[in-house]
Structure 1
């Protein structure tokens, strides 16, 4: 006797139902948007329909426009041993904490290895990072693991063995651009700035652009905010300034930053950061924090705050351990950490500093070089944290 609920194919066989009840397209898209990027990379091969959904510009933009706040943590080793035959760059991601938790957990997303060293990754730009490797500008996406080797710099009469590099994003035209400036150059060569547009299905070449009127040497990595890339620099006549690169117009300008004598010490730790949507400059000298927030770029006006820090917040970490500033978290606290992943630190510590309340709190970052064998094999690693990373499914 046939089961009343059994369905048969048209040829009378009972190998399966004659049709499947299809999930609506809206529900399918909703399900896919809730999946991590690593899963989406696999599920695009399930069917042509799923591939077209996942690869559509609308779907990709929906993922980028509502990103979960992420930390992108990079470890770069710079020593080669018998156990470690290559230089390595490890890229981890971690969700930012939603409350005042005491720990974060990072996951390894991508590893790059080479017989030559990697430069320190620039801060995340809409999900992409840039590095310099063997004299070449490299852009990669930790979410999709795409690595793009940009064309060699071939401009007559110039040498680009050493260059300062930034990656910028123009949200108006949805364009990524790479910009390089020669370093260790003479003042009359200081106008050597070049730009390359990425993506668009075209083969692009480097082209020269006009630099600012001042000779300068970059001091910090670039930070991209609202279509502009900013980085701190030295000039012979104005001391420290902020260089501004307009990604859309490809123009460079100088923003003056008047610093006190103590804030210009050579051993200071400095960084440009995004402080609650405004450009800010944070400099730590000894036990003091100098903090500026840009009020008016055209008039070169900044607000200034001076805070005294107490090194007791390092607990077991000795005072002579060098530190780095890595931007701010999602509530505006400044992120400070040891500059290196050392053998005896245990879980990597992150310090959050609230400039308004002048209070510290400490968080342990788990999953980053926690294994003793890993630390012994790769030695002290340089640590960098990009605090505004997001998953981006775009391919450039």
Structure 2
């Protein structure tokens, strides 16, 4: 045993790169040699490999608890249905007022809106915008100014595309209404984008609540911001062509005849659009069996994927995020 050669570091990196993030974290406890989780070459390589195999992230919530699972994001299969296993990640307590937002580069966002009043008693809501820059020696939040006047963010999920964060807001009138806010992470500048009138009419019309998705769904469509709505027979997609000119394009996709056979009577919600141009839908609550549906825009086909392994959390509320990746970078405490 004394003559046993040390395992080359290149071989260790190759072995660990095949593992999920959780076992890699445990490997840090083996020895200094195995503690390569903070190695820049390894973390960059792991992120590249993780991006090539995106996952669905399931956030299961009930009362003051949230449980996270992940599963492979199965794309563009020829089969009408298939089965995949979910991997349990973690669970932790959560406040009633907290909202779960989609992940970016392996980081999950939990929001907790707290409203207050200004000291002068004029009734305005206090809004603070803060930025935390990761990767610095000293982590600290910085307050930045937003030049756009709005009442509060809507309940809908925002989305980050190519370093720009988009989220819908209620605009202070007159007239009152809705708009999209763009925040460029690089320049730390805010910009407003007008929402097409047709979307606003459908979104805010109570008569369409049974026909249309109640929420305005923001999606990443071929690297551009998209707004997605669905009625009984079609999907409607608006794509932001030019943010400065507030220019949008509209697309309509008629559902295939196989839709009813695959989806049946399931009460499903739009999750988003994958990089392979498939619209993902799922039920609001966890059931047994639990299915995720993929509608292929280009092929006009629908397929069903059964997710197994979450039976113990039946009837929990389900929030699904697309394109989840695992990141093994070490972060300091904030």
Q: TM-score scaled to structure 1, two decimals?
A: 0.70
Structure 1 residue 273, shift from structure 2 partner: 0.8
Whether the aligned pair in 1 keeps the contact of 2:76 and 2:276 (CA below 8 Å) is no
Query: SS in structure 1 opposite 2:291?
Result: strand
User: Secondary structure, in 3 states, of the residue corresponding to 1:293?
Assistant: strand
Show the counterpart of 1:27. Answer: 11
SS of match in other structure, 2:156? coil
- Aligned counterparts, 1:274-285, within 5 A: 274-285=220-231
Please show how residues 1-396 of structure 1 align to structure 2 within 5 Å.
Answer: 17-51=1-35, 53-67=36-50, 68-78=53-63, 87-97=64-74, 100=77, 102-113=82-93, 116-117=95-96, 119-132=98-111, 157=119, 189=125, 192-199=127-134, 200-213=136-149, 217-235=153-171, 236=173, 237=175, 239-260=177-198, 261-266=201-206, 267=209, 268-309=214-255, 312-313=260-261, 315-317=263-265, 321=267, 323-341=268-286, 345-368=287-310, 370-371=311-312, 374-375=313-314, 380-396=315-331
Distance 2:15 2:137 in 1: 30
Distance 1:50 1:279 in 2: 41
Residue-by-residue CA offset, 1:262-287 (whole Å, 9 max, x unaligned): 35434323311112222111022455
Structure 2, unaligned runs of 5 or more: none
Question: Cα distance, 1:239 vs. partner?
Answer: 4.1
> SS of the counterpart of 1:132?
strand
Aligned residues: 313
Q: How far 1:254 moved relative to its partner? A: 1.0
> What CA distance in whole angstroms lies between the structure 2 residues aligned with 1:354 and 1:365?
19
The alpha-carbon distance between structure 1 residues 157 and 245, as it changes in their structure 2 partners (threshold 3 A), is farther
Aligned position for 1:145? none
Contact 2:132 2:139 in 1 (8 A): no
Structure-2 separation of matches of 1:103 and 1:259: 41
SS at match of 1:303: strand
After TM superposition, give the deviation of residue 228 of structure 1 in Å. Answer: 1.0
Q: Distance in 1 between matches of 2:263 and 2:293?
A: 11
TM-score, length-normalised on structure 2? 0.82
What is residue 3 of structure 1 aligned with on the other side? none
How many Å separate the matches in 1 of 2:105 and 2:152?
A: 27
Deviation per residue, 1:107-165 (Å, 9 max, x gap): 11010125x426331101100111135x68xxxxxxxxxxxxxxxx9998499xxxxxx
SS in 1 for 2:37: helix
Q: Offset at 1:296?
A: 1.4
Question: What is the alpha-carbon distance in structure 2 between the residues aligned to residue 279 and residue 337 of structure 1?
Answer: 21
Q: In 2, distance between residues paired with 1:298 and 1:45?
A: 51
Q: What per-residue deviation string (whole Å, max 9, x for no partner) do you get for residues 283-324 of structure 1? A: 224554321112112211111013444762564435xx3x32
Residue by residue over 1:234-254, the C-alpha shift from the partner in whole angstroms, topping out at 9 and shown as x without a partner, is: 435484432111122222111
**Bigger Rg over Cα:** 1
**1:4 matched residue in structure 2:** none
Q: CA deviation at 1:336?
A: 1.1
Q: Over aligned residues, Cα RMSD in angstroms? A: 3.1
Distance 2:120 2:25 in 1: 41
1:59 Cα deviation from its structure 2 partner = 1.4
Q: Alpha carbons of 1:62 and 1:251: their partners in 2 closer, same or farther (altered >3 Å)?
A: same
Q: Aligned-pair distance for 1:367?
A: 1.7
Give the SS at the match of 1:257. coil
C-alpha distance in 1 between matches for 2:37 and 2:147: 40
